[in-house]
Every structure is written in C-alpha cells, then in structure tokens.
C-alpha cells in the first residue's frame, strides 16, 4: 500500500515536472515569436529613420508644394522679357435655373457691362440650360462692382487669359491663341504642345525666342512710318545674326493686337516676312553674281558688253539708266545693270545658277518656327530667258526670310545659315560659297552703298553694304510700271558682318518729298539706314573707321574703284 502510495506520489511529482517543462517550452516559443515580431518592427523603424525614402517624403507631399500652376508657358525674348503669359481673370457665368428675376438680372448686368448685348443675354438667362457665359475675362475692378450687385444665379470663376504685354509688336511672330488657350498661329501654334503640357517636374515650359524686343520696336516703328508715308500695301523687314541665323527682329505691316483675337482682321494676320512671295528684282543680282564668281565662270576684272539692249525672241532686256559701254562687275553692281547681269548669267549658264540658288536655299520652303511659310515659285525649266530674268530677280518669287538668310550666307564667309526664332538653337556649319567669294561680295555690296543705288542706306561708321531692288509687279498680262515692290537686302559692318537685314515695301506710292519716287533707294534704303543707326549701338556693334579700311589692302576692290558715271540712280 505504502509502495503504491509512493508510486502514485512519484507519479504526481513526475506529472508536475513534465507540465512545468512543457509550460516553459511553450513560453520560450511565445517569447521567440514576440521577439521576432518586435524585432521586425524595430528593424523597420531603423530602416525608416535612416533611409530617406518615399514614405518619409509623403509628409511634404500631403501638405503640397507651393508651385504656381499655369496652363500655358511663357514666351520670352532673348533678354528674358515676357512676350506672352497667362494671367488669371474672373469670368462671369449664370445658371438660368437659379435665376429668379430674368429681366432684373439682365438689366443690372448690362448696366455694369455696357458692351454685353441685352437681348441676347435675356434670351440666354431665360433658357433651360444649366450653364451660360455672361462675360469672360472681367477686370478686377468690374468684378468688385459685380459682387456688389449680388444677383442670385449669376456666379464667377477664375480663368486664364493669354496676355501679350507688347501688344502689336511681334504679333506675326507670336501669333495668337483661341479662347481655350490653343495656339492658332505663329510660335503659339508651332509650339502649342511644348507650351501647354508640363515637363517632368510638372512645371509648364518656357520658350526663349531669339528676338530682341528693343530692336523689334525700332524696326516696327521705322516700317510703320514708311508704310504710312508712301501709303504702301505692306511693309516688312527681318534682321538676322549672320553667324547662327538667329532672328533678332521680324516685323510685318499691317499688324494686329493678339490680345483681342476676336477683333483681329484676318488680312492683317498675314505675315509678309515669312509667307509673302515677292519678285525681289535687282536685289537678286547679289546672288547671281556671287554664284557666277564662286563657280569661277567669271572673275574680277572681266568686262561685259552693255552697249545695247539684249533681244531674246520678243523680249528686250534694258537698263534703267543705260551706260552704253562695257561694264566691270563693280559697275554692274553699283549701277544695277540688267544687261550686265544678263551677260554674267549667260557666262555661268542656267544649270550653275540653279544649283547655286538651291544651295543658297532660295528654291525651297523653310522648316521654320512659325507655320506660316511659303514655297518659292520659279519656272520648272530654266531656259535661256528664264535664267537671265531670274538673274536679276524677275520670274522667281521668294519670301523676305529667304533673302535675309541667303544674304547672311553670302556675307558671313559662305556658311549656309538656317533661320531660327529660338535662342541658342544649334545647327551644323556647312560651306556653300568660298571664303574668297564672300570677301569679294562684301566689297561689292559695300560699293553699292558707298557709290551706287544704295547711298540712302549708308550710316557713317557702320560700313553698311547691300543691294537695292525695285521690281515692277506682274499684272494680269504684263508687268505694271506703276505698281512696284521696293526692297533692300544688306548687312553691316561689311569688314566683319554681324547682322544681315532685309526690308521690303510692297506697292509704295511716290510722294512729293521723294520727288515722286517710290523706288528702293527712296523707300527701303532709308528704313535700313535709320534702323542700323539705332540698333547698332544697342546690339554692341563697334563702329569702324571706314576710310582706313577702304583705303587699306583688305578692301582692294573698294579702294581701287572709281565711279566714272556722272549720275547714279537711287533705284
């Protein structure tokens, strides 16, 4: 019995011991689990505090960054002045269902906004719609007055309005936008996507143009003056950096105010600088003589028979002031001889002329930063007569942009220039004329302004060079002597050309102060003079001592040239 008791006791002790053991192992197990859990929490905490990860930044994200969100990026000029920007303005709208007194509301709104049509507004407010516009883009002062009226059912919301602080200046380059801020012309249209969609950092893109608003204003004001003075149909001009093709100013007259797109006269939006095709006349002699010289078909010192007019089938090629003698290349440029140019074209041949004109980009459309461009028109086949007339700028129509670019190529040492409106755009340098040809042309162009038809473009100290052109406009059957296009294309300073310039005046009328003349020498050339005189110092172009350069060995053609004719037409 005792043994049995003992046995039981031992058994009980045994059971107790085993239970404690089991308990401990469970405890350890639970402890282990908890350690694991807490451990992972600790690890995660350390991870969070040490690594600056996204979860940490979410605090900032939750509060939000103070970025101004504008739906359309600014357009800037080359110095950072704002040319176009979006401003927030209030627009007034109504929910006709909320309106209690239609007549009263219409009356009080039209008493404040006198330009709103009362009848139309009454009709709108009486309609069954839930949303009608009353007036868009209200001045803050008007908004204050409107708030005081407190008409039930009429509300306002803020909207962005494209604003152009310089108004008509640059209107053709910038273009304008629709009421929904979509670009409809100019840079606004071409760069619509870039301007309206935010970049990777969620900021709207800005676009810096190559235009200098100060130069633009000078060009515009001078063009405006000549446009009014000669009651011209249009006047346009472009100024270009000859090194990189950046356009510093581009104006076309008549112009418009892009702030008020609804009031714009469609015909005023025509950009004559990039879309206007003109037969440039004698200005083209620059390009044909440069081509002939570069092809080595003629050389300085050659003389050309200009004793009598040239007859080709039923056409006669004559000079404005016939000199009736053999002319040097200098004479042909200075006196703008058609006969002489015709001889030069005959010497080089139509094929060479066409090839060079293509290389000078006078035959193709430009891929440009405004959509308003034009394809030059010239005959499909360049026969003998066509080649000759094209040589002095008839039978071929190009835009002023073509002329200013080709002029830049001629004067800058012979490197092809791609016109651009964007500052700092890179393009590869490609030689199309030899440096020697370019140097000769610079001297010839200088001679035209010193002694020839371009005298009125001269600015003392800036060594202006260029070529005038007065072309009769082609009528229905023949050329009309009374309706002309006057142009001047040139560059300055000719010893080291910095800027090329073209000015075209379409259909100028002769007036008293110019003795009834409306030729290029009396219209386009003076504009160029005034513009260069004013923009030169502004653009940091150093004046040069002309006498010193012209008498030195660097300009032998200019130094040795003596004008033997008594009179040179300012044509």
Q: Indicate the helix (H) or strand (E) that contains 145.
A: helix 140-149
The nearer residue to another protein, 462 or 555, going by C-beta atoms, is 462
- The distance of closest approach from Cβ of residue 249 to another protein in the complex, given in angstroms and rounded to an integer, is 11
Closest CA to 410 of 292, 528, 248: 292
The nearer residue to another protein, 1 or 68, going by C-beta atoms, is 68
What is the bridge-based pairing of β-strands 207-208 and 234-241? unpaired
Q: Indicate the helix (H) or strand (E) that contains 14.
A: helix 2-50
HEC sequence for 41-87: HHHHHHHHHHCCCHHHHHHHHHHCCCCCCCCCCCEECCCCCEEEEEE
Give dist(CA 480, CA 228) in Å, integer.
22
The order of strands in the sheet holding 247-253 is 247-253, 234-241, 499-506, 479-492, 465-474
- The distance of closest approach from Cβ of residue 34 to another protein in the complex, given in angstroms and rounded to an integer, is 16
Closest CA to 133 of 92, 166, 97: 92
The nearer residue to another protein, 134 or 463, going by C-beta atoms, is 463
HEC sequence for 188-206: HHHCHHHHHCCCCCCCCCC
Give dist(CA 354, CA 383) in Å, integer.
11
- The distance of closest approach from Cβ of residue 461 to another protein in the complex, given in angstroms and rounded to an integer, is 4
The nearer residue to another protein, 261 or 461, going by C-beta atoms, is 461
Give dist(CA 416, CA 428) in Å, integer.
9
Is-contact 518 468, C-beta < 8 A?
no
- The distance of closest approach from Cβ of residue 533 to another protein in the complex, given in angstroms and rounded to an integer, is 7
Give dist(CA 126, CA 136) in Å, integer.
19
Give dist(CA 566, CA 41) in Å, integer.
103
- The distance of closest approach from Cβ of residue 356 to another protein in the complex, given in angstroms and rounded to an integer, is 36
The nearer residue to another protein, 186 or 281, going by C-beta atoms, is 186
**Catalytic, out of 282, 288, 291, 487:** 282
The nearer residue to another protein, 184 or 541, going by C-beta atoms, is 541
338-348 vs 350-359: helix crossing angle, rounded to 10: 100
The nearer residue to another protein, 64 or 150, going by C-beta atoms, is 64
- The distance of closest approach from Cβ of residue 170 to another protein in the complex, given in angstroms and rounded to an integer, is 12
- The distance of closest approach from Cβ of residue 220 to another protein in the complex, given in angstroms and rounded to an integer, is 9
The nearer residue to another protein, 9 or 554, going by C-beta atoms, is 554
Give dist(CA 46, CA 1) in Å, integer.
66
Which residues neighbour 253 within 8 Å (Cβ) at sequence distance 6 or greater? 220, 223, 224, 227, 232, 234, 235, 236, 272
- The distance of closest approach from Cβ of residue 66 to another protein in the complex, given in angstroms and rounded to an integer, is 4
- Please give the structure tokens belonging to residue 65: 């960054």
Contact residues: another protein, CB under 8 A: 59, 63-68, 70, 81-83, 85, 87-88, 163, 165-167, 169, 213-214, 217-218, 221, 459-462, 533-534, 536-538, 542-545
- Please give the structure tokens belonging to residue 500: 């090329």
* 336 part of the active site: no
- The distance of closest approach from Cβ of residue 410 to another protein in the complex, given in angstroms and rounded to an integer, is 25
- The distance of closest approach from Cβ of residue 388 to another protein in the complex, given in angstroms and rounded to an integer, is 41
Beta bridge partners of 348: none
Q: Indicate the helix (H) or strand (E) that contains 312.
A: strand 310-312
Torsion of CA 399, 403, 406, 410, to 10 degrees: 170
The nearer residue to another protein, 219 or 386, going by C-beta atoms, is 219
Residues shown for the chain: 571
The nearer residue to another protein, 198 or 349, going by C-beta atoms, is 198
Q: Where do the H-state alpha helices sit in 152-302?
A: 171-174, 186-190, 192-196, 213-229, 285-294
Question: Among all residues, which ones are annotated catalytic?
Answer: 282
């Amino acid at each position: 019995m005792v043994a049995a008791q003992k046995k039981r006791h031992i058994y009980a002790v045994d059971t107790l011991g085993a239970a404690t053991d089991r308990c401990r192992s469970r405890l350890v197990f639970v402890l282990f689990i908890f350690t694991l859990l807490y451990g992972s929490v600790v690890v995660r905490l350390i991870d969070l505090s040490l690594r600056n990860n996204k979860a940490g930044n979410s605090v900032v994200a939750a509060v939000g960054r103070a970025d101004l969100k504008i739906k359309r990026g600014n357009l800037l000029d080359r110095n950072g002045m704002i040319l176009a920007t979006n401003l927030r303005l209030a627009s007034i709208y109504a929910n006709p269902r909320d309106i209690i007194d239609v007549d009263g509301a219409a009356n009080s709104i039209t008493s404040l906004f006198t330009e709103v049509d009362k009848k139309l507004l009454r009709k709108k407010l009486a309609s069954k719609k839930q949303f009608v516009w009353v007036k868009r883009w209200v001045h803050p002062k008007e908004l204050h007055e409107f708030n005081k009226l407190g008409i039930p059912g009429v509300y306002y919301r803020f909207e962005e309005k494209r604003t152009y602080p310089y108004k008509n200046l640059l209107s053709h380059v910038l273009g304008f936008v629709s009421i929904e801020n979509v670009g409809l012309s100019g840079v606004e249209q071409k760069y619509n996507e870039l301007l309206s969609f935010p970049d990777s950092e969620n900021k709207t893109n800005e676009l810096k143009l190559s235009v200098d608003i100060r130069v633009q204003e000078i060009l515009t004001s001078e063009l405006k003056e000549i446009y009014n003075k000669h009651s011209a149909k249009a006047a346009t001009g472009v100024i270009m950096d000859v090194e990189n093709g950046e356009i510093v100013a581009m104006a076309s007259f008549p112009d418009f105010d892009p702030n008020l797109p609804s009031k714009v006269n469609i015909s005023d939006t025509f950009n004559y600088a990039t879309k206007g095709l003109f037969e440039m006349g004698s200005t083209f002699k620059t390009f044909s003589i440069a081509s002939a010289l570069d092809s080595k078909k003629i050389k300085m010192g050659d003389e050309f028979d200009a004793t009598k007019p040239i007859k080709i089938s039923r056409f006669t090629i004559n000079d404005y002031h016939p000199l009736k003698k053999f002319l040097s290349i200098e004479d042909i440029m200075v006196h703008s001889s058609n006969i002489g140019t015709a001889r030069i074209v005959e010497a080089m041949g139509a094929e060479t002329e066409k090839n060079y004109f293509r290389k000078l980009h006078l035959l193709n459309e430009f891929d440009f930063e405004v959509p308003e461009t034009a394809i030059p028109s010239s005959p499909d086949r360049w026969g003998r007569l066509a080649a000759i007339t094209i040589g002095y700028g008839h039978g071929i129509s190009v835009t002023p942009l073509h002329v200013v670019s080709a002029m830049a190529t001629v004067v800058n040492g012979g490197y092809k220039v791609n016109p651009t409106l964007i500052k700092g755009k890179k393009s590869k340098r490609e030689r199309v004329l030899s440096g020697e040809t370019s140097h000769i042309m610079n001297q010839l162009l200088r001679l035209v302004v010193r002694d020839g038809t371009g005298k009125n473009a001269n600015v003392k100290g800036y060594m202006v060079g260029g070529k005038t052109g007065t072309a009769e406009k082609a009528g229905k059957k023949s050329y009309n002597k009374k309706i002309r296009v006057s142009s001047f294309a040139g560059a300055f300073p000719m010893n080291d050309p910095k800027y090329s310039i073209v000015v075209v005046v379409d259909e100028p009328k002769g007036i008293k102060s110019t003795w009834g003349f409306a030729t290029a020498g009396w219209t386009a050339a003076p504009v160029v003079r005034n513009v260069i005189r004013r923009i030169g110092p502004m653009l940091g172009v150093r004046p040069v001592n002309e006498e010193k350069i012209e008498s030195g060995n660097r300009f032998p053609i200019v130094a040795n040239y003596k004008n033997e004719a008594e009179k040179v037409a300012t044509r």
